[in-house]
C-alpha cells in the first residue's frame, strides 16, 4: 500500500483527497494535518467521514513528509512554499495543489501573486501536472505542481487547436462559471450564503491569478506568447465549472471536422469526453467525477469557434487530477479510484 | 385611472405585470386572461396575490381589448400575432411582450422563428420598446414590441460605444447567464428542478432567437450590419441575468474614460446605473428592480473591453420595461411604479 | 415627515429597514450607523441602494437618537442594551429589533442568553411589538421590543386557539424551517455557502433562544404556563420561514370550523391570511411581503391539529413588523409602505 | 457475475441503480428499459454515463426477466403490479422499488393509493426490504418490496424505542423535509424550478401515502396498532431527506442512555450511524451515500424525545437500499458497492 500524507486536510480540497483516497485500492491514509482543527478526529470535522476514516488531525510539521510515499499539499498558496526543500530531503513524492510552483517564471509569480517566490530554484523541478499534456514528464517526476481548476478547463478546451493553424491565437476569450467551493472553506462575505444565492457575480475580470497559468501552457503549445482574456464568474452552486471559450477561426471549418480532430487528439485519454457536434458541455454531467466534457460549436455567421468545457472544480480541477498524477507517478493504472460517473441529479 | 387588460396573466411575465400594476398609482387592472386557468380567480393561481388582486381569469377573446386603455400581451410568440388587427380596431394602446413584432424584417422572423409572419404589414407600426434608445418614438406610439431580456441587457451594454469609433464592431461576443424564470411557467424537462439545480448549462449557442433582435438594433446604431456571437447559459437561480460582453478596442482607452462616456450617454436615464471603473455588475443588486447596472472593465493586456450588464429578466427584461413603455406612452412620469430598489439578500 | 435613525444599518435587517422606509411616504431616513463600514456611503455597502439612498454610515453614538422621531435598533443582542437609558432621554420613539427587551423576566434573559440584563427596570416599559396581540399597547408605547421571526410565526399560528378549549396546551410542538438570512450578515462556517447549500440542518433543538419568547406570549394568552418544544432547521434558501405547529385536539373539530374561527379572530388584520381548509402555507407566497399565511389541517386519524405558518423572516419576522409598529405608534395607517405582494417566482 | 435487469431505467431511481451497479464488482448490467426513451442509448439520455455504460434502452416486456438473475423494478406504482406473476415464472429475484407490494393489507393499498390491488395473493410473498429489521427474511426472499424513502428514515429513527417502554407510542409525529428528486423525473408544475427554488412547501400533510407503510412496520414492532402524524415538506435541494421525529417519553431519560441503547440496537449495522448525544443528523453528511444518520435529543422541559434522521432519498431511501437487499439475497457482503462516503460539500 502507498502511504499517504495530506497537509491541509480540513479544507474542501483536502476532504476531497481523503474521500477519493479512502476508496483507492492502493492508497493508505497515514497523516492528515490541520492547523485549525488539530487534535480533533477528521470525522468530527467532516461528519461525512464517520465510519469511513478514523484519523486525528495533526499540526503541520516536517514529519508530515517523513514516513509517507506521497505527500499531498492542499494548502493556501505560500503556506508551504518555503517548506519544500525540507520535504525534498525525505523520500516521498510531492503533489502540491497550491499555485506556488505552477508558474515557471518567478517574476510572473511575483507579479500576479504579489509576493516574492522563496525558492525559485525549485521551479524547474516541478512538473505541471496536467496528464493530457505532460504525462511522460509526470511519470518520472518527484514533484508535481497540480493545475488550477480554471486553467484545467481552459487548456483542455484549447490544446488540440494548437496542433492546427485553424484558429487565431490572439483572439482567445475564456468566460468561466464556477461553483463556490473553489473559494475554499474559510468563511468570508464573498462566500456567505446570502451573498451568493440567487445571483451571478463576475470577479477579478482580466486580473485573475489563473491567467498566467493558462498563458504559460498555451504559449508553450504555440511556441509563441499567447494571451487570454479570462473572466471568472461565481454562480449559485457548490460544485462544478463551465468554461465557454471563444476563438476566431481562420477559415470555415465544420464542427464535425473539429470533433474528429479533438477525438483523435484525446483518443488515449480516459477522462476527456469530446461531445458530438452540436452538443454543449454541461457541468451537471461531470459533477463528482474526474471527467472533463468538451463541446465544439461553430458560429458560422461570425466564423468563431465556441468551446464549452465542463468539470468538477474539486475533482478534475483539484483532488481527482492530483490522484491521477499520483497514479501515473506510481506506475499504476491511471484510472484507479477515479472512474465513478457523475452523480445526477 | 388607466384601464388595463393583460392577456396571458397566468405566466410568470403576466404575474409580474399584475404585481407591478397593482401597485401603480395610475393603473387599474380590469381584465386578465388565461386559457389554462380560465374561470379561476387569479389569487388561487398565484396565492401571492391573495388580499391584493381579486379578479377572475377569462379566456382570451377580442373583448380583451374592448374596454381597456392599455392591453399587455404576455403570450408565447405566435399566440396573438394574428389577432393584432382586431385589437387595432379598438381604441387601446398595445404592448406586446412576445417576440412577434420585434424584428422589422419578416424574413428574419421566418428564419429564426421557423414560422411565416401573418401580418408583416403591421411591423412598421411596432416601435421597439427600449426607452433608452427609442423614447421619442415610444411617446407617440400605439403599438410597442417590448424587447427580449437578453437583447435589453446586451444592447444597453453596447449602445454608448456606437457613438464612438473606439471599438471594432466585428468583434462582439455576448456571454449571458440567466435565471430559469425566463423559460416561463410551462413545465418541461429543461426547467425541472433536478435538471437545473447545482449545474450550469449552455443552450442555443450561436443560434438563440434573440440574436437577430440584438443585431437589428446594433446595426441601426452602427449604420451598417453588425453581427453578435451570442451564448446564453442557464444557471441555478430563479431570476436575474448577467451579460458579459466582449469587444476589441481600436486603441488604448481607460475604464475611466469609458465610464465618463457611458454616464454622459445615459445621463437622463433613471434605470441605468453605470458603475465606477473597476466595478462589475452583479445580478444580486438589481433583483426585483427595473434597474440595469453596467460595469466597464478594460483588459489592457489584450486591448479588449469587457462590459458586464445586469438586470432582472422579468422586470427590466420584460414586465418592468413594458410598464416603463406604458408610462411614456401615457405621458406620465416614466419612473412611476418602478423605483423599488432590488431586494437583497 | 417622520425623521428616522437606524442603528446597525449594514446588517440584513438594517438594509431591509432602509429599503422599506425609503419607499414609505411618511418616513425620511436621516441617520444610518455601522461600525464595520463607518465612513462609507450605504450604497457602496449595498449596491442595491444606488440611486435610491445616498447617506454616509456613521458610528453609533448617542447622537443617533438626537434629531430623530423614530430610532430603530437593528443590532445584535446586548450591543445596545445598556444605551437605552441614554436614548430615552431624547424625545424619540424606539423600536428595538434585538432580543434584549423582549423577555419580561430578567432571569429568563440571563438563563437563555447567558448574560445579565443591565437594565431590568426598563423591561416593563417595553411593549412586545406583535400588533395582532398588542395593538393598543403599541399605540401608546414609546419603546417597542420587536418580536423574533420564529416567535412571530409560531405565536400567530396558535393565538386564536387560546380563545377556545379545543386544544391541549401541553402538547405544542413547533418545527420551523428557515432561510439563512436570519443568521445575519456576519460570515461564519454555519452560513458559508458550501455548508448550507443542498442540505437541511437542524440546530439548537429544544434549546433555541426564541423558545422563552414564544412561551411568554402563549402563557400570557393561556393564563397559565405553556411549554413549547421548538425545533428550528436551516434550509438552503435566503429568505422565508415556515413553521409547522402540532397540537393535540381535545375533541373532533373540522378544519372548516377552525378556519372560520381563525378568520374571525384575525378579521381586522391586514397581514394575516387564513387559508382555506385543506390549503397549506407556503413560504414562496409571502416572500418579500409583510404577510403571514396560516393554514389549518386536521389529522383526524390522530386527532391532532397541524398548523402551517409562513412569513418572510426579514419582513413580518423583523423589519416589516417594526415598520408596522412604527405606523401604529405614529397613528398613521398601519398598512402604509407594507402592502407589496410577495415576489413570485 | 450477477446479471441485472432494470425496468424503468430512465427515471432518477433507475439512473441511481445504474450508477451504483456499474461500480458493483459482482453485478453486470444486461437490460435497461424505458418507454419514453426506448431505442436510445442510456448514455444519451443521461450524459453522466458516457464512457461508463453503453446499453440501449428497450421497451418493457416479459423478456426483461428472462435472462437475468436480479430484476429491479423502478417504475411508478401500478406500472408493473400486474406483471409480477409473469416475472415470477422466470428464475430471477425481484426487487420492486414501487409501492405496490409494500402494504400487506390490500385494503390499505386500495384506500391510500385509490386503486384496487390486482394481485393480493402475492403480497404475502413480498418481503419488506428494510435490512435493519428484516434481514433474515430478505436473505431467503425471492421478492422484495423496497421501502419508501420517508418510511425508511422514520422507521429507522423509531425502531430501537420499540424494544423499550420508554415512550408513548400514541404520540408519534414525523416532520420530514425532502429534496425534490423524490418526486421523480417527470416534469410538473410542482417540480418546476421556479416553483421550488427559494421556498419551502408542505404537501399531503396527514394524508401522504407513505403513512400506512410506516404504521404497518411500527405496529408490527409494537405488537399493537400505532398511528403516525406524518408531515412531508419539499425544500429547495435536489437530494437528501431529514425527518424530525417527536415522541413523548414516559419517564426522564438522558440522551446518553438513549444513544447507548440505539448503538446497541444497531451494533451490527454498517449503514446506521448513531450520533453522539447532542448531535443532530444533517442531510449534508449522508448525501450520495447509503448511510442513515440518527441523532437523539431530549427536550427535558417537555419530556419529549426529538429524533433526527438523515439519509439520501435516492440511495438509502431507494436504489442503495435495493442493492443492499440484493447483496443480502445473493449472500455477498452487504456493504459491497455501497461504502462510498457522502460527497461534501
3-state SS of C241-257 is EEEEEEEEECCCCCHHH
C174 shares its domain with C289: yes
D142 and D154 housed in the same domain: no
Selecting from C202, C287, C306 the residue whose C-beta is nearest the C-beta of D205 gives C306
In a domain, D66, yes or no: yes
Cross-chain Cβ contact D191/B194 below 8 Å:
yes
Quickly tell me which residue has 487530477 as its cell.
Answer: A321
Spans of chain C below 70 pLDDT: none
Alpha-carbon span A312 to A289, nearest angstrom = 7
Q: Under a CB-based contact definition with an 8 Å cutoff, are residues C6 and C32 in contact?
A: yes
CB C322 within 8 A of CB C97: yes
Measured distance CA(C187)–CA(D118) in Å, rounded: 57
Residue C235 C-alpha, separation from nearest chain D C-alpha, in angstroms? 7
Q: Which residues of D touch C302 (CB under 8 A)?
A: 170, 206, 227-229
Q: Which residues of A touch C191 (CB under 8 A)?
A: 187, 192-194
pLDDT number for residue C67: 86
- What count of other Cβ atoms lies within 10 Å of the Cβ of residue C58? 18
Q: Residue A344 falls within a domain, yes or no?
A: no
Which residues from chain B sit within 8 angstroms of residue C48, using beta carbons? Answer: 284-287, 289, 341-344
Gap from A324 CA to chain C (nearest CA, Å): 25
Beta carbons within 10 angstroms of residue C170's beta carbon: 12
Q: Which CATH number characterizes residue B36's domain? A: 3.40.50.720
Q: Is D189 on the interface with B (CB under 8 A)?
A: yes
Angle formed at CA A157 by CA A151 and CA A163, multiple of 5 degrees: 110
Domain presence at residue D336: no
Cell triple for residue A298?
461553430
Residues 119-178 of C with CB under 8 A from D: 170, 173, 175, 177
The answer, for C181 touching chain B at a CB cutoff of 8 Å, is yes
CATH at D214: 3.30.360.10
In a domain, A340, yes or no: no
Torsion of CA C259, C262, C266, C267, to 10 degrees: 50
Of C188, C237, C238, the CB nearest to A187: C188
pLDDT beneath 50, residues of chain D:
none
Strands of B173-178's sheet in order across: B201-202, B229-234, B173-178, B241-248, B304-311, B292-299, B272-274
Instruction: Count other Cβ atoms within 10 Å, centred on residue B26.
Output: 16
Q: Are residues C132 and C201 in the same domain?
A: no
Q: Torsion angle, CA of C260/C266/C270/C276, rounded to 10 degrees?
A: -20
Is the same domain home to A136 and A194? no
CA distance C31 to C7: 8
Residues 322-341 of A with CB under 8 A from D: 339-341
**How much is the pLDDT for D67?**
86
Residues of A that are catalytic:
149
CB B71 within 8 A of CB B89: no
Length of chain C counted residue by residue: 345
* First and final C-alpha spacing in chain C: 34
Taking an 8 Å cut-off on Cβ atoms, the answer to whether C288 and B181 are in contact is no
**pLDDT tens, position by position, D212-270:** 999 999 999 999 999 999 999 999 999 999 999 999 999 999 999 999 999 999 999 99
A269-284 mean pLDDT? 97
Angle, in degrees to the nearest 10, between helices B12-22 and B319-330: 50
Element (H, E) at C112: helix C106-113
Looking at the DSSP assignment, which residues form a beta bridge with residue C245?
C174, C307
Check: CB of residue B144 under 8 Å from CB of residue B71: no
Say if residue A32 is in the same domain as residue A113: yes
Give a yes or no: residue A130 inside a domain: yes
- In terms of Cα–Cα distance, which of C128, C16, C33 is closest to C71? C33
Q: Are residues D135 and D171 in the same domain?
A: no
Cα separations in angstroms, D52 against A342, C29, D20: 10, 61, 11
CA angle (B145, B147, B152) in 5-degree steps: 160
What was the pLDDT predicted at C175? 99
Predicted confidence (pLDDT) at residue A63 exceeds the cutoff of 90: no
Cα A227 to Cα A100, A310, B308, distances in angstroms: 21, 22, 21
Is some CB atom of chain D closer than 8 A to the CB atom of B36? no
Same domain, B134 and B186: no
Minimal-distance CA residue of chain C relative to A45: C189
Give residue B63's pLDDT. 85
Q: Which of C191, C194, C238 sits opposite A180 (nearest CB)?
A: C194
- Say yes or no: C324 and C306 in one domain: no
A25-A27-A29-A33 Cα dihedral, nearest 10 degrees: -130
Give residue D63's pLDDT. Answer: 85
> Which of B68, B92, B149, B292 does the annotation list as catalytic?
B149
- Chain D residues lying within 8 Å of B192, measured CB to CB: 185, 187, 191-193
Pick among A179, A200, A286 to test the B interface (most B CBs inside 10 A): A200
At D92, phi and psi to the nearest 5? Answer: -90, 160
Query: Which residue in B289, B292, B286 sits closest to B152, CA to CA?
Result: B292
Instruction: Tell me, yes or no, whether A93 and A195 share the same domain.
Output: no
Tens digit of each residue's pLDDT (9 = 90 or more) over B315-338: 999 999 999 999 999 999 999 999
Interface touch C344/B46, C-beta < 8 Å: yes
| Distance from the C200 Cα atom to the nearest Cα atom in chain B, whole angstroms | 15
Cell of D249: 417519553
Q: What angle do CA A16, A20, A26 make, to 5 degrees?
A: 145
Q: To 10 degrees, what angle do helices D106-113 and D211-222 make?
A: 150
Flag whether the pTM goes above 0.90: yes
Q: Contact A293/D47, CB-based, under 8 Å?
A: yes
Note whether A238 contacts C191, CB cutoff 8 Å: no
D298 found inside a domain:
yes
What's the confidence (pLDDT) of residue B67?
A: 86
The neighbours of chain D, by the rule of 3 or more Cβ pairs under 8 Å, are A, B, C
**CA distance, residue A309 to nearest chain B CA (Å):** 10
User: What are φ and ψ of residue D191, in 5° steps?
Assistant: -115, 10
Contact at 8 Å (CB) between D241 and D310? yes
pLDDT digits over A298-312, tens only? 999 999 999 999 999
Q: How far, in Å, are A274, B46, D17 from residue D22 at the CA level?
A: 22, 44, 8
pLDDT 10s per residue in chain B (345 long)?
Answer: 999 999 999 999 999 999 999 999 999 999 999 999 999 999 999 999 999 999 999 999 888 998 899 999 999 999 989 899 999 999 999 999 999 999 999 999 999 999 999 999 999 999 999 999 999 999 999 999 999 999 999 999 999 999 999 999 999 999 999 999 999 999 999 999 999 999 999 999 999 999 999 999 999 999 999 999 999 999 999 999 999 999 999 999 999 999 999 999 999 999 999 999 999 999 999 999 999 999 999 999 999 999 999 999 999 999 999 999 999 999 999 999 999 999 999
CB-based contacts of B18: which residues, under 8 Å, 6+ apart?
A: B6, B9, B29, B32, B42, B46, B49, B53
Q: Is residue A335 part of a domain?
A: no
Q: Are C17 and C322 in contact (CB under 8 A)?
A: yes
Instruction: Please indicate, yes or no, whether residues A156 and A175 belong to a single structural domain of this protein.
Output: yes
Distance from the C206 Cα atom to the nearest Cα atom in chain D, whole angstroms: 5
**Residue B196 sits at the chain D interface (C-beta within 8 Å):** yes
D199 touches chain A (CB under 8 A): no
Chain A contact for D291 (CB, 8 A cutoff): yes
* Chain D neighbors of C310, CB-CB under 8 A: 200
Cβ contacts from B onto D, under 8 A: 54
Give the whole-angstrom CA distance, residue C23 versus residue C329.
19
With an 8 Å Cβ cutoff, is D43 touching chain C? Answer: no
Question: Taking CB atoms and an 8 Å limit, are D185 and B187 in contact across chains?
Answer: no
Shortest CB distance from B180 goes to which of D191, D193, D236? D193
D191 in contact with C at a CB cutoff of 8 Å? no
- The total number of structural domains in chain D stands at 2
Query: Can the peptide bond before residue D345 be classed as cis, meaning omega within 30 degrees of 0?
Result: yes
Q: Which residues of B touch D197 (CB under 8 A)?
A: 180, 193, 197, 236-238
Residue A118 C-alpha, separation from nearest chain D C-alpha, in angstroms: 33
Interface A-C: count of C-beta contacts within 8 A: 54
On whether both A277 and A167 belong to a single domain, the answer is yes
Considering CB atoms only, which of A202, A237, A244 is closest to B199?
Answer: A237
B311 CB-side CA count, 13 A: 31
**Which chains, if any, share at least 3 CB pairs under 8 A with chain B?**
A, C, D
CB atoms A238 and B198 under 8 Å: yes
**Residues A87 and A127 reside in one and the same domain:** yes
Interface touch B48/C285, C-beta < 8 Å: yes
Q: So what's the pLDDT on residue A62?
A: 80
Asked whether the beta carbons of C132 and C334 are under 8 A apart, the reply is: no
* C100 in any annotated domain: yes
| Cβ-based contacts of D197 with chain A (< 8 Å) | 198
Do residue A188 and residue C189 have CB atoms under 8 angstroms apart? no
Residue ranges making up the domain that contains C165: 150-311
**C292 catalytic per annotation:** no
* C316 touching B (Cβ < 8 Å): no
Amino acid at each position: 500500500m502507498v502511504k499517504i500524507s495530506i497537509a491541509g486536510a480540513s479544507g474542501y480540497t483536502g476532504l476531497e483527497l481523503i474521500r477519493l483516497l479512502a476508496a483507492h485500492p492502493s492508497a493508505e491514509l497515514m497523516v492528515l494535518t490541520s492547523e485549525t482543527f488539530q487534535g480533533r478526529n477528521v470525522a468530527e470535522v467532516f461528519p461525512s467521514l464517520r465510519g469511513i476514516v478514523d484519523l486525528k488531525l495533526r499540526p503541520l510539521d516536517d514529519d508530515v513528509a517523513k514516513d509517507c510515499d506521497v505527500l499531498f499539499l492542499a494548502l493556501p498558496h505560500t503556506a508551504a512554499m518555503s517548506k519544500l526543500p525540507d520535504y525534498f530531503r525525505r523520500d516521498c513524492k510531492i503533489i502540491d495543489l497550491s499555485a506556488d510552483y505552477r508558474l515557471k517564471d518567478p517574476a510572473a509569480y511575483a507579479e500576479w501573486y504579489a509576493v516574492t517566490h522563496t525558492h525559485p530554484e525549485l521551479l524547474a523541478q516541478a512538473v505541471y501536472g496536467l496528464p493530457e499534456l505532460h504525462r511522460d514528464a509526470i511519470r518520472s517526476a518527484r514533484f508535481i505542481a497540480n493545475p488550477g481548476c480554471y486553467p484545467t478547463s481552459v487548456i483542455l478546451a484549447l490544446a488540440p487547436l494548437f496542433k492546427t493553424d485553424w484558429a487565431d491565437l490572439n483572439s482567445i476569450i475564456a468566460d468561466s462559471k464556477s461553483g463556490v467551493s473553489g473559494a475554499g472553506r474559510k468563511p468570508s462575505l464573498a462566500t456567505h450564503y446570502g451573498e451568493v444565492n440567487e445571483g451571478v457575480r463576475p470577479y477579478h475580470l482580466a486580473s485573475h491569478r489563473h491567467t498566467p497559468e493558462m498563458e504559460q501552457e498555451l504559449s508553450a503549445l504555440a511556441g509563441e506568447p499567447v494571451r487570454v482574456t479570462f473572466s471568472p464568474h461565481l454562480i449559485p452552486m457548490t460544485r462544478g465549472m463551465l468554461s465557454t471559450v471563444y476563438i476566431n477561426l481562420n477559415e470555415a471549418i465544420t464542427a464535425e471536422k473539429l470533433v474528429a480532430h479533438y477525438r483523435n487528439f484525446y483518443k488515449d485519454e480516459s477522462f476527456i469526453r469530446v461531445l458530438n457536434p452540436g452538443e454543449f458541455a454541461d457541468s451537471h454531467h461531470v459533477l463528482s467525477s474526474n471527467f472533463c466534457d468538451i463541446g465544439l460549436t461553430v458560429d458560422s455567421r461570425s466564423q468563431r469557434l465556441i468551446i464549452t468545457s465542463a468539470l468538477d472544480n474539486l475533482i478534475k480541477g483539484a483532488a481527482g487530477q492530483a490522484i491521477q498524477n499520483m497514479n501515473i507517478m506510481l506506475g499504476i493504472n491511471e484510472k484507479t479510484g477515479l472512474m465513478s460517473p457523475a452523480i445526477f441529479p
